[in-house]
Each structure stands twice: as structure tokens, then as C-alpha cells.
């Protein structure tokens, strides 16, 4: 049986995720606010919808990876798209939004006979292209298991069931805490190595397999060494997510996360300086400003297009 999917939000992440689903045999309808971003998917056989409601009609699975919680609410609920979803369909929200908002959306869709999984991802644009994303899902276990049986997760990456509605978002926020602090430590370590006379390009090689190794070191550390700051994950999204971390932490009885707050403040300074669309490996730029004239390598910066 061929399952029909709708995918809304075909940007840096959504476009390759949708392409992988089409390659796996799913029939797809797509929608994006900037219509031109759907053109490559149309060439692969996707139907381009004129609006969110048109996109979701008749779909067995509705997937989206939009900018923020308010955008998800606008596109699906304020527009009326949620009201035309097929009863028995499952909405898979892969955006990073506040856990409470995910719980509200799940409750609203349940009233309409539609399943809901909050399933944010980690792995950036490279993971989206490779189909190797880490997917963290919260919601009804039956909806998760059905989605797995129908093969929806596999073209995008590896999905894990975390718990009830909102749990996927909690896991993603934990992920963002760890990634943010790791980005900060990698930037400091590489700048330190270069200033001390070591070849920074050899640090990821030398540390591979050791306790300091990580995907952040191997992927984003190399971005820093190459000074390639085209976004896999833009700073504006990281500021949003770390603000959500701090707000959620306060709600659950953790008002003091000092390292997270310090890293968030650095990203906010970079955001305010005009680096909203730069990859979060641009944390390096803040350190270089503090330690001028120290600089990692002699390559010119590659900014976002």
C-alpha cells in the first residue's frame, strides 16, 4: 500500500527530508511559504499545494518542520488546515517548539480524530540529506508504532520513542543544551590549539575515538577550521531553542542552568550583531573578538549565501 504524505516547510531541512521520502516510494504533496523552494520536489514528482489546507487533504501522514511554535500554530490551526485533516491521519511535527505547545496541539488534534507526534530532529542539513537524523518522538505509542510499521521514519533517520506528548520536545531541548555547550568547548579548544602552535586541522583527527570526540568536533569543528559559516543550523534557531530551554527549565524547577545561560548570551550577542543566519559554529567569532588578534587559520570567512 502506498501511503500519501503531506510535507509543509521545505527549506534547509524539509526539502532533503521530503526528497528522501519520495525516493522511498511515498506520494507527496508539499507546501512552503516561499513557493520556489518546492520546485526541485515538483521535479521529483511531488504535488505542489497552493495553501496548507490543500496540502494536508487526504494525507495519511502530515509532516512539517517549520520555524517556531507560533508558526506551526498559524499554519495548521489558525489557517483551518487542522480541520480538514483526514480522521485517522497522524500529524508529525518536527519543528522545535515549547513542550506545552506540543501538548496543546496534541489535545486539539485528538478532538478531531487525528494523531499527533512531536518529533524534533538533530543532525542538521547534512543529516537531513543523508537520511541519518536522530528523531525524538513524543505522543501516543500506538501512533509511533504505526508510523514505524508504515516506514515513515526510516528514510529520514533513526526514530526513538521518548514518551507522551511533549516528550520529544523535552529530548530536543536536552539535545540543544549538549550541542550548545559542545560548540562552545570545541571553539575554545581549537582556538587554544591554534594559538599554541598546533595545527588545528589535526585536532579532529588526533581526538577521533577519544573522550573529547563528538560529531560537533568532527562536523562543526571542521566548519570552524575552514571558516565555512553557511548554515546547517542557523544562530537564530539556536537562540530560540536556548530561550525555550531556560523558560522550560524554570517551569520544571531548574531555575539555574548557568552554563546554558552563558552560552545563550554569546549566541544572542552574535544574533544582535547581524549573524542570525550564520551557522552556530560561528560561536568562534565571539571568541576571536574577545581575544583579538588571535584567529583560527588564515582562510577568509564563508558567510551565508
Among all residues, which ones are annotated catalytic?
Answer: 172
Among 225, 206, 229, smallest CA distance to 282 is for 229
Q: For residue 159, how many C-alpha atoms fall within 13 Å in the half-sphere facing its CB?
A: 26
And the C-alpha cell for 144?
509511533
Among 136, 103, 107, smallest CA distance to 121 is for 136
DSSP assignment string, 203-217: HHHHHTTSTT--HII
* Inter-CA distances, 94 with 4, 14, 249, 252, Å: 18, 9, 21, 23
Q: Which alpha helices (H) appear in the chain, and where do they start and end?
A: 14-23, 39-43, 52-56, 69-72, 99-111, 124-130, 141-149, 167-195, 203-207, 215, 222-226, 235-251, 258-272, 283-290
Amino acid at each position: 500500500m502506498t501511503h500519501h504524505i503531506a510535507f509543509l516547510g521545505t527549506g534547509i531541512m524539509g526539502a532533503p527530508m521530503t526528497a528522501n521520502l519520495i525516493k522511498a516510494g511515498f506520494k507527496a504533496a508539499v507546501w512552503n511559504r516561499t513557493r520556489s523552494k518546492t520546485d526541485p520536489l515538483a521535479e521529483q514528482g511531488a504535488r505542489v499545494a497552493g495553501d496548507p489546507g490543500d496540502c494536508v487533504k487526504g494525507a495519511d501522514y502530515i509532516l512539517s518542520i517549520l520555524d517556531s511554535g507560533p508558526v506551526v500554530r498559524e499554519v495548521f490551526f489558525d489557517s483551518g488546515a487542522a480541520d480538514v485533516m483526514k480522521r485517522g491521519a497522524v500529524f508529525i511535527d518536527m519543528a522545535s517548539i515549547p513542550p506545552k505547545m506540543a501538548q496543546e496541539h496534541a489535545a486539539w488534534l485528538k478532538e478531531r480524530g487525528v494523531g499527533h507526534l512531536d518529533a524534533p530532529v538533530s543532525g542538521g542539513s547534512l543529516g537531513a540529506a543523508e537520511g541519518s537524523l536522530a528523531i525524538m518522538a513524543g505522543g501516543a505509542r500506538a501512533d509511533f508504532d504505526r508510523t514505524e510499521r508504515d516506514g515513515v521514519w526510516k528514510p529520514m533517520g533513526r526514530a526513538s520513542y521518548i514518551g507522551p506528548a511533549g516528550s520529544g520536545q523535552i529530548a530536543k531541548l536536552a539535545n540543544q543544551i549538549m550541542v550548545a555547550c559542545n560548540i562552545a568547548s570545541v571553539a575554545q579548544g581549537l582556538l587554544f590549539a591554534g594559538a599554541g602552535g598546533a595545527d588545528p586541522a589535526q585536532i579532529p583527527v588526533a581526538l577521533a575515538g577519544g573522550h573529547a570526540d563528538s560529531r560537533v568536533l568532527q562536523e562543526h569543528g571542521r566548519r570552524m577550521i575552514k571558516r565555512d559559516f553557511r548554515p546547517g543550523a542557523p544562530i537564530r534557531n539556536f537562540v530560540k531553542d536556548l530561550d525555550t530551554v531556560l523558560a522550560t527549565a524554570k517551569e520544571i524547577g531548574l531555575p539555574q542552568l548557568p552554563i546554558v545561560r552563558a552560552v545563550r548570551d554569546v549566541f544572542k550577542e552574535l544574533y544582535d550583531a547581524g549573524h542570525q543566519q550564520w551557522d552556530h559554529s560561528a560561536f568562534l567569532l565571539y571568541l576571536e573578538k574577545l581575544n583579538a588578534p588571535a584567529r583560527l587559520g588564515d582562510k577568509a570567512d564563508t558567510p551565508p549565501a
